[in-house]
Structure 1
Amino acid sequence: MAEPFLLGVLGGMGPLAAVDFQYQLLRAVNSASDQQQIPMAVWNVPQIPDRQQALAGRGPSPLPQLIDGVERLNRIGASHIVIACNTAHHWFEALQAASRAPLLHIADATTEAVAALSPTSVGLIATQGTLDAGWFQRRFARHNIETLLPTAAEMASDFVPGCYAVKRGDVAAGGEQLARLAQALLDRGAERLVLACTEVPLALRAIGWQPPRAAVDPAEAMAAVCARLWQQQRST
């Protein structure tokens, strides 16, 4: 008999991102009834230390609290765990080592979604820690997809203040700054955008900004993978 399916969501980074991911899950399953939706347990604790500050050497590591969240999700029986934060995947290997349940990597789900669109180039919007880690760039390169990155000046003037505007609740102001960055990447030749920071799609939706071609939201891509796993489990 198959193990009961229970999706564990490690959230809090920020809390709005975890709520949005749950909404993406509901949309991805597109069920006819409540009972057909994905069973999940969400650890949405925003007191986890700031990931960007930690990677910049200006704050404590979030790893102890991340491990605590993973262990709690394991104790209540999670069969799979996802991290509702792109930057927190910097600690993916350590979290997988601490978990009985397998963790699903957001960059794998995103690459699947991007490759299905067959672009030759994408513009990647993400924290500096995610850009430096290179998870997305390496995966895209395996599909012969060039990755265009923001400049240091764009990160300082648009990405960082835009991201933290969303975190403090000023979502529309964050959207205006992040839309400038998105447009700059399109102007430099990006065929598609990858919105690899959970605050970015929320902010762009808040101001109604849309690129000429649909952007890829990693949270939506991960939700699609989770929905597929759930539907496969239900059919066995």
Structure 2
Amino acid sequence: MDVSPKLGVLGGMGPLATVDFLRKLVDRTPARADHEHIPFVVHSVPQLPDRMEAIFDGGASPLPALMEAIETLQAAGAVLIAMPCNTAHYWYDKFAPAAKVPFLHIADAALAALGTDQRQSLSLGLLGTRGTLKAGFYQKRFAARRVDCVISPPDDQEKLVDPAIKAIKENDLVSATPLLERAAERLLEQGASAIVLGCTEIPVVLDRFRPALAARCVDVTVALAESCIDWWQSHYAPARQASA
């Protein structure tokens, strides 16, 4: 097995969100030829125990499978790991310290994408699964930067956000789009200045949003891809240039 340095992508949660991440990673890499792109290995594990059932219903924890997936990626040469799934970051504080390589946190990537100049007096809306909202890692990071967090009221979460995410997982993008547009609009009506799309299923339909609404959204999948690119360029691009 080739164990040369690679970006490790822990995917499959869900598969469409993983493909969306990979496309955005490639699109945003400043490469002029194939060999200038980031080498990556993807471990897609859609059979992981259901994250929502584990968080809310006492179902089987996905933590052992996540730990095993991390080991698989490390054995394949991963020197950095990213996981394009927000809800699975519920267990980040348990699996990331056990990893032998850096493991990027998707919420840190999202905040980095906002830029330091925008962090004062912001009120950000957050769309995500109930599991992500319960985990609170976005809310904690926002609060540390004095950014107010606006989340969907329970009725909107139940009738708009949850059904839309389910529809995307079923590849029904047409049904999902108007539900998410309405959920985002409601957050803006509550005073949010922008909307953080805190579930990697949601950006899959972002290009279907009305342009004015899409412009108010922060795509965390793009943010994670850009964090991977920044890390890789700071650690490996100089070495490649020196050997050229």
Aligned to 2:220: 218
Equivalent residue for 1:92?
92
Quote the offset at 1:182 in angstroms.
0.5
The residue aligned with 1:108 is: 108
Measured against aligned partners, the alpha-carbon deviations of 1:93-124 in whole angstroms (never above 9, x if no partner) come to 22223321121111111111124461611100
2:60 aligned counterpart, secondary structure: coil
Q: Which runs of 5+ in 2 are unaligned?
A: 240-244
- Of 206-215 and 44-53, more deviation after overlay is shown by 206-215
Write the letter of the residue equivalent to 2:27.
R
Return closer, same or farther for 1:174/1:33 CA change in 2, 3 Å cut-off: same
Task: Please give the TM-score of this superposition, normalised by the length of structure 2.
Answer: 0.90
User: What is the TM-score with the length of structure 1 in the denominator?
Assistant: 0.93
After the TM superposition, list the runs of 4 or more consecutive aligned residues in structure 1 that deviate by more than 3 angstroms. Answer: 206-210
2:29 counterpart residue number: 29
Change (3 A) 1:149 1:117: farther
Q: Say if 1:204 and 1:210, in contact at 8 Å, map to a contact too.
A: no
**One-letter amino acid of the structure 2 residue matched with residue 177 of structure 1:** L
In the alignment, which residue of structure 1 is the partner of 2:202? 200
The within-5 A match list for 1:92-171 is 92-116=92-116, 118=118, 120-171=122-173
Rounded to whole Å, the distance in 1 between the matches of 2:205 and 2:157 is 16
Measure how far apart 1:75 and its partner are: 0.9
CA shift for structure 1 position 181? 0.4
Distance verdict in 2 for CA 1:212–1:178, change over 3 Å: closer
* Residue correspondences, number: 234
Q: RMSD across aligned C-alpha pairs, in angstroms? A: 1.8
In the TM superposition, residue 205 of structure 1 has moved relative to its aligned partner by: 2.3
Paired residue secondary structure (2:168): helix
Change (3 A) 1:115 1:134: farther
Q: 2:69 corresponds to which residue? A: 69
Is the contact between residue 207 and residue 214 of structure 2 (CA under 8 Å) also seen in structure 1?
no
Query: How many Å separate the matches in 2 of 1:39 and 1:212?
Result: 30
User: CA 1:115–1:132 in 2, change beyond 3 Å: closer, same or farther?
Assistant: farther
d(CA) in 2 for partners of 1:98, 1:33 = 35
Post-superposition shift, 1:188?
1.2
Q: Does the 8 Å CA contact 1:5/1:230 hold for their aligned counterparts?
A: no
Cα displacement (A) at 1:195:
0.1
Deviation at 1:177? 0.9
Distance 1:204 1:91, change over 3 A: same
Long gaps (5+) in structure 1? none
**CA gap 1:212/1:51 in 2 versus in 1, 3 angstroms:** closer
